[in-house]
Amino acid sequence: DAGVIQSPRHEVTEMGQEVTLRCKPISGHDYLFWYRQTMMRGLELLIYFNNNVPIDDSGMPEDRFSAKMPNASFSTLKIQPSEPRDSAVYFCACSGGETPYNEQFFGPGTRLTVL
Amino acid sequence: TQLLEQSPQFLSIQEGENLTVYCNSSSVFSSLQWYRQEPGEGPVLLVTVVTGGEVKKLKRLTFQFGDARKDSSLHITAAQPGDTGLYLCAGDQGGSEKLVFGKGTKLTVNP
């Protein structure tokens, strides 16, 4: 398996623009997580899905953020409109399959810069 | 308030030195995981500890889970430049698939 795939790897946009981040999890892993990482706050959980259904979105900072998982092999995180304070590295991770202790497998991340 | 406190936040040492980093909490975890994150990449799982008092070794890395399952440590023997990275601990409180992450220890091993 190729592991978790995220695109794009880097995104530079201007304030007010819509940003869409994409994730393809490992096949057979039925949990998918979106995280945001900054120096100040570390790794923060934004939302997670189980079998394509959102389970906990309490970490989503505000209504400008939305996430979808239309099928088991694809998820998106959208920011509309984007603001400079959204600049961070966004990770997608997955778990499930045969891992017994909720171990998570992370993608390489998308580095977002909002000017 | 951070549920998992990691210390030190930064550590810079010379190749060949030994080091220990810590992950502490007032909460009990059913398991605790350690990840290493290299620049420009996502965290990668190193080990999971499950039983209080458990010690696991991974080559030059030794992981220990506290007896009360509230804390953990990572000891590296004879550090190498390839050990450079951000070390994150993550706790599983049980009841959900979520993990609680610490902010990490950023380790730099100078040649």
Residues in B closer than 8 angstroms to A43, CB to CB, are: 43, 88, 101, 103-104
Distance of CA B18 to the CA centre of its chain: 15
Nearest-Cα residue of chain B relative to residue A47 = B98
Task: Provide the token pair at A43.
Answer: 């790794």
Q: How far is B39 from chain A (nearest CA, A)?
A: 10
CB proximity list for A10: less than 8 A, separation 6 or greater: A110, A111, A113
User: What is residue B2's predicted lDDT score, i.e. its pLDDT?
Assistant: 64
DSSP chain A: ----EEE-SEEEE-TT--EEEEEE--TT--EEEEEEEETTTEEEEEEEEETTEEEE-TT--STTEEEEEEETTEEEEEESS--GGG-EEEEEEEE-TT-TT---EE---EEEEE-
User: What is residue B59's predicted lDDT score, i.e. its pLDDT?
Assistant: 96
Task: Provide the token pair at B73.
Answer: 């440590």
Report the C-alpha gap between B68 and B29 in whole angstroms. Answer: 9
Confidence of residue B95 (pLDDT cuts 50, 70, 90): confident
Which of A96, A101, A106 has the CB atom closest to B42's CB atom?
Answer: A106
- Please state, for a pLDDT cut of 70, what percent of chain B lies above it: 98
Closest CA to B39 of A109, A11, A93: A109
Confidence of residue A14 (pLDDT cuts 50, 70, 90): very high
Residue B41's H or E segment, with its range, is none
Identify the residue whose tokens are 């991340």: A109
Residues in B closer than 8 angstroms to A50, CB to CB, are: 97
Residues of chain B numbered 56-85 and touching chain A (CB < 8 Å): none
Task: Provide the token pair at B80.
Answer: 């190498």
Confidence of residue A1 (pLDDT cuts 50, 70, 90): low
User: What is residue B96's predicted lDDT score, i.e. its pLDDT?
Assistant: 81
User: What is residue B1's predicted lDDT score, i.e. its pLDDT?
Assistant: 54
- Please state, for a pLDDT cut of 90, what percent of chain A lies above it: 90
Best residue of A23, A41, A43 to probe chain B, by most B CBs closer than 10 Å: A43
Phi, psi of A98 (to 5 degrees): -105, 10
Contact (CB<8Å) A108/B40: yes
Task: Provide the token pair at B85.
Answer: 């990275």
* pLDDT reading at B80 higher than 60: yes
**Strand pairing partners for A5?**
A24
- Please state, for a pLDDT cut of 70, what percent of chain A lies above it: 99
Contact (CB<8Å) A31/B97: yes
Across the A/B interface, how many CB contacts are shorter than 8 Å? 57
SS3 label, residue B5: strand
Q: What is the mean pLDDT of residues A38-42?
A: 92
Q: What is the mean pLDDT of residues B85-98?
A: 90
Task: Tell me the per-residue pLDDT of A49-82, one tens digit each, with 9 for 90 and over.
Answer: 999 999 999 999 889 999 999 999 999 999 999 9
Closest CA to B91 of A56, A101, A55, A35: A101
User: What is residue A4's predicted lDDT score, i.e. its pLDDT?
Assistant: 97
Residues in B closer than 8 angstroms to A42, CB to CB, are: 2, 101-104
Task: Tell me the per-residue pLDDT of B47-69, one tens digit each, with 9 for 90 and over.
Answer: 999 999 999 999 999 999 999 99
Report the C-alpha gap between A107 and A73 in whole angstroms. Answer: 14
Nearest-Cα residue of chain B relative to residue A6 = B42
Report the C-alpha gap between A39 and B88 in whole angstroms. Answer: 13
Which of A96, A101, A104 has the CB atom closest to B31's CB atom?
Answer: A101
* pLDDT reading at B86 higher than 70: yes
Contact (CB<8Å) B101/A42: yes
User: What is residue A99's predicted lDDT score, i.e. its pLDDT?
Assistant: 76
User: What is residue B93's predicted lDDT score, i.e. its pLDDT?
Assistant: 83
Average pLDDT in chain A: 95
